[in-house]
Structure 1
Amino acid sequence: MMQNKGFLRVKEILAITLILVGVKLSDSTPALMAQKAQNGFWLIPLLAFICIFPSFLVLLYLLKKYQGKNIVELVESITGKWIGKCVGILLFIFAFLTLTLDSRNYIEQIKLLYFPESPTDIIFLVFIGIVFFGAKKGIEVIGFTSWILLFFIQGAFFLVLILVYEDIVIQRIFPIFGTSLPVMLTEGVKKASIFVELFFLLITYQSAKKTSMFRKGALIASIIALFELTIFYFVYTTVFDYNSIEKIQFPFHDITQYINFGEFLTNIETIFMIFWLFAAFLKFIIFIYITSWIFGEIFAIRNFEPLLLPFSFLVMMIGLLPFNSVMNELVFRETLLTIMSPFFIIFPFVLWIIAWVKGDLKQ
């Protein structure tokens, strides 16, 4: 399948970005952040966004200057072919590892919450199979589907906020900065890569009808995703205290346990599970597609559709390696976030400096 160019509009770009980044409100990311920041963890998305968003803006500026390129082509144009290839491979490794560790995270949620008696490998196989067949449809279909389902997914998340409102205890956010302000700032920098999917999405920069549409959709979605993460993490803090949140692995699903419609309609968390599954499938359909696209771009494989199957298999095999979800989350994912954050904060500015020294930005 050739790279699809010129199909996506602002709404599709917005939907893809929101699903890829915003769904972190429903996984184990808040529990990971609460390990050190405690009840102040709800501010970490804001601190992380402040750290990493200027770097994203720099890349958008460079892509605008170097017209007709995506992120891999941009790096090669600025740094040269061989350095660019090395950086591209590093970008692919980051994307692939993020995809793999996140997918194991979601498989653990599905198993522990809904199919506790089913083998992990069977659940993983079914999940990745659906993701593979969805990714084969191409970026145009993925974008259209994301836009259609976005309303239902966002509506379900918004309904959770409304129904859990009475269980919020505002006093639980104190002290505001949790353990301490220095810890909060440190965690904000270390966890800045919770927005790393924004950088991976730049491989699709030329897939929009106009590049201005991509920039507009991505920027709007980034702000909305930040708002959603902050609001939901605030709700988790005020419904559970910090002693609970750092022990609750999947706070979104736990918070749905509080929801009921009167005395007769209780235990309705299954309804929200349906929309959560839609979001999860779409997230990984998008993710495996752009990861394969990055690899194909590095090695000039224009027809990268055949890569989807082996990458799907590798994601499942490597994703099954951690012995349990605790090791996957608190060791591997924590380490990956810590490594990626300084890279994506600093490297875009390094690219900008090189481009400026070369005189390319004067054009």
Structure 2
Amino acid sequence: MKDEKTLKAKEMFAIVVLFIGLKLSDTTPSLLAQKAQNAFWMIPIVAFIVIFPSFLLLLYLLKKYKDKNLIELMEQILGTLVGKLFGFVIFLFAFLSLALDSRNYVEQIKLLYFPESPTVIVFFIFIGVACYCAKKGFEVIGFTSFIGLPLVKIAVFLLAYLIFSKAIFPRIFPIFGTGLDVILTQGVLKGSLFAELFFLTIAYTTFKETKSFRTGGILGSIFVMVEIVLFYLIYTMVFDYNSISKIAFPFHDVTQYINFGEFITNVETFFMVFWLLAAYIRFIVFLYLVTWIFAAVFNINEFEPLILPFAFFTIIAGLLPENSLINELLLRDQLLNIMTPVLIFFPILLWIVAFSKGDLKRL
């Protein structure tokens, strides 16, 4: 890495919050509402409880082995061949998540703001800008996230404040929606809603102190879980029981409900600016991490030139689904379900192997 180690816990916190927190404003609520209807806001709670211990265990191993990123840690514990195999699986998860999620956001931008524009053109512009910014390096990305975080969160919590008067509390009932069993099952299957925490560990050694990565990561993940649950709960109370699973973009629909007085309407444009800022930061980080993981697996030190090819591959892969329904309700749903058990159990496997080798006692 060319970047100097100047990143601190505040940058890590900002990256986590923007990288994962944008799931409160995409089609993830609609995906979860298909399963649990008005109780979908509970699913992220269960998902976080399921996945967070594995993330903490991974942080523990990274702390023990020192100066190792995710791929290096797996190679150190499992051996070069098996470690690279696991690393390649993580890369596939990250790349497919990037492709499917980017298609999700491109469809939102197109349908909401540029309905006459071809999807492919919007896709090229969106990923092209992310590619250009990603080439600036992870240090710049971290500082940009820290600067952009207050602007985005002021807008987000302003929206929450303004819409709260429209919320109707009884709409959370029946409290368990389609059933407690559905909530628990979907919560376990959707633990990978927080998969980005694991992808970020490729950047573990780029911080001024590795403690900063752990502190920012843990605090950021807790904050973002609470924020997501809060907004999902607001969506539940704003939209009625029958419509909650039929709304594609609840965040943008919520902005239609508010105005600043009688003369200032169409305020969704105001929130769109900050939503786009957060979306770009998310995919700048995502594209950079995917390229970084690939480079680490194949021992490529100077990987910034690979960002452009991966941006192109992202567009190609993202355009493969016929439409946004297949992309979201079928492919992304299945990907989340597949990733969850792997992300839960691979840190446990690493710990078992490291413990059996006696490494944890020596380090």
TM range, smaller chain: over 0.9
Tell me what 2:266 maps to.
267
Whole-angstrom CA distance in 2 between matches of 1:53 and 1:236: 25
CA positional deviation for 1:23: 0.7
Name the SS for the 2:243 alignment partner: helix
CA positional deviation for 1:244: 1.1
Would you say the 8 A contact 1:34–1:242 is kept in 2?
no
CA positional deviation for 1:4: 2.8
Is 1:16 matched up with 2:11? no
Tell me what 2:174 maps to.
175
Tell me what 2:326 maps to.
327
Give the direction of change, closer, same or farther, for the CA distance of 1:334–1:343 in structure 2 (3 Å limit). Answer: same
Name the SS for the 1:88 alignment partner: helix
5+ residue gaps, structure 1, are none
- Which residues in structure 2 correspond to 1:1-363 (within 5 Å)? 2-363=1-362
Whole-angstrom CA distance in 1 between matches of 2:85 and 2:186: 29
The amino acid that maps onto 1:348 is P
When normalised by structure 2's length, the TM-score is 0.99
Whole-angstrom CA distance in 2 between matches of 1:8 and 1:105: 30
The amino acid that maps onto 1:252 is F
The superposition leaves residues 189-212 of structure 1 with CA deviations (integer Å, 9 ceiling, x where unpaired) of 111100000000000000110000
The superposition leaves residues 130-169 of structure 1 with CA deviations (integer Å, 9 ceiling, x where unpaired) of 0000000001111111100100000100000011011101
Would you say the 8 A contact 1:21–1:197 is kept in 2?
yes
Whole-angstrom CA distance in 1 between matches of 2:84 and 2:2: 19
Whole-angstrom CA distance in 2 between matches of 1:353 and 1:84: 14
Whole-angstrom CA distance in 1 between matches of 2:16 and 2:289: 12
Whole-angstrom CA distance in 1 between matches of 2:279 and 2:332: 18
Would you say the 8 A contact 1:164–1:255 is kept in 2?
yes
CA positional deviation for 1:242: 3.4
The superposition leaves residues 29-55 of structure 1 with CA deviations (integer Å, 9 ceiling, x where unpaired) of 000000011111001111000000000
Whole-angstrom CA distance in 1 between matches of 2:13 and 2:242: 36
CA positional deviation for 1:178: 1.0
CA positional deviation for 1:293: 0.5
Whole-angstrom CA distance in 2 between matches of 1:234 and 1:196: 22
Whole-angstrom CA distance in 1 between matches of 2:323 and 2:250: 18
Name the SS for the 1:191 alignment partner: helix
The superposition leaves residues 315-349 of structure 1 with CA deviations (integer Å, 9 ceiling, x where unpaired) of 00111111111000001000000000111111111
Name the SS for the 1:242 alignment partner: coil
Name the SS for the 2:246 alignment partner: coil
CA positional deviation for 1:262: 1.3
Would you say the 8 A contact 1:8–1:207 is kept in 2?
yes
Whole-angstrom CA distance in 2 between matches of 1:338 and 1:202: 21
The superposition leaves residues 115-134 of structure 1 with CA deviations (integer Å, 9 ceiling, x where unpaired) of 00001000001111100000
Whole-angstrom CA distance in 1 between matches of 2:240 and 2:14: 32
Name the SS for the 2:295 alignment partner: helix
The amino acid that maps onto 2:83 is G
Which one is further off, 5-14 or 16-25? Answer: 5-14
Whole-angstrom CA distance in 2 between matches of 1:322 and 1:243: 28
CA positional deviation for 1:241: 2.1
Name the SS for the 2:260 alignment partner: coil
Which one is further off, 281-290 or 237-246? Answer: 237-246
CA positional deviation for 1:7: 2.1
The amino acid that maps onto 2:271 is F
Give the direction of change, closer, same or farther, for the CA distance of 1:106–1:73 in structure 2 (3 Å limit). Answer: same
The superposition leaves residues 41-93 of structure 1 with CA deviations (integer Å, 9 ceiling, x where unpaired) of 00111100000000000000000000110010001111111000100000000
The amino acid that maps onto 2:30 is A
Whole-angstrom CA distance in 2 between matches of 1:56 and 1:5: 26
CA positional deviation for 1:3: 4.9
CA positional deviation for 1:177: 1.2
Would you say the 8 A contact 1:5–1:206 is kept in 2?
no
The amino acid that maps onto 1:314 is F
The superposition leaves residues 262-292 of structure 1 with CA deviations (integer Å, 9 ceiling, x where unpaired) of 1111111000000000000000000000110
Whole-angstrom CA distance in 1 between matches of 2:236 and 2:332: 22
Name the SS for the 2:256 alignment partner: helix
CA positional deviation for 1:234: 0.2
Whole-angstrom CA distance in 1 between matches of 2:317 and 2:20: 22
Whole-angstrom CA distance in 2 between matches of 1:58 and 1:157: 32
The amino acid that maps onto 2:289 is I
CA positional deviation for 1:5: 4.9
CA positional deviation for 1:175: 1.4
Whole-angstrom CA distance in 2 between matches of 1:3 and 1:89: 24
Name the SS for the 2:355 alignment partner: helix
Whole-angstrom CA distance in 1 between matches of 2:137 and 2:244: 38
Q: Which runs of 4+ in 1 moved over 4 A?
A: none
Whole-angstrom CA distance in 2 between matches of 1:356 and 1:79: 12
CA RMSD of aligned residues (A): 0.8
Would you say the 8 A contact 1:30–1:41 is kept in 2?
yes
Identity %: 59
